[in-house]
């Protein structure tokens, strides 16, 4: 029986997240996971709500989230990123289902993003596969 994995994508960096999604799909095949139709949200801040909705479904065994939280001129991104990641951890525990964190940042600078796209996407899927 194939495990069904929800996919939540932040669309603020749509092109980069699209690339991450293709690597996530490749990695899912290696682990015999079925990635469900992806849910696109405006940005990483909206990921937890989409995860909550997906994780509440009985036929969803886990989830991955893909996004980028760049370093800004203020601490807004850092504070937001910490809140998002904390909430994702809480959702894992609440639903007793694994969530693979494929969010780059918070605090990512432009030069950090491209080299991290593939490793973060693959690691998110791999983590869920190992936890299932």
Active site residues: 76
Q: What angle do CA 102, 103, 107 make, to 5 degrees?
A: 150
Nearest C-alpha neighbor of 15 from the set 69, 85, 67, 81 = 67
Nearest C-alpha neighbor of 110 from the set 20, 13, 5 = 13
Nearest C-alpha neighbor of 101 from the set 33, 7, 3, 25 = 7
**CA pair distance 67, 77, nearest whole angstrom:** 13
């Amino acid at each position: 029986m194939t495990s069904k994995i929800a996919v939540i994508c932040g669309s603020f960096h749509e092109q980069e997240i699209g690339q991450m999604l293709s690597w996530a799909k490749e990695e899912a095949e290696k682990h015999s996971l079925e990635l469900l139709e992806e849910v696109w949200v405006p940005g990483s801040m909206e990921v937890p709500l989409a995860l909550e909705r997906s994780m509440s479904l009985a036929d969803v065994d886990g989830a991955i989230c893909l996004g980028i939280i760049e370093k800004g001129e203020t601490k807004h991104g850092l504070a937001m990123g910490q809140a998002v990641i904390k909430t994702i951890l809480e959702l894992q525990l609440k639903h007793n289902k694994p969530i693979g964190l494929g969010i780059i940042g918070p605090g990512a600078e432009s030069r950090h993003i491209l080299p991290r796209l593939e490793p973060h996407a693959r690691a998110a899927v791999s983590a869920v596969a190992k936890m299932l």
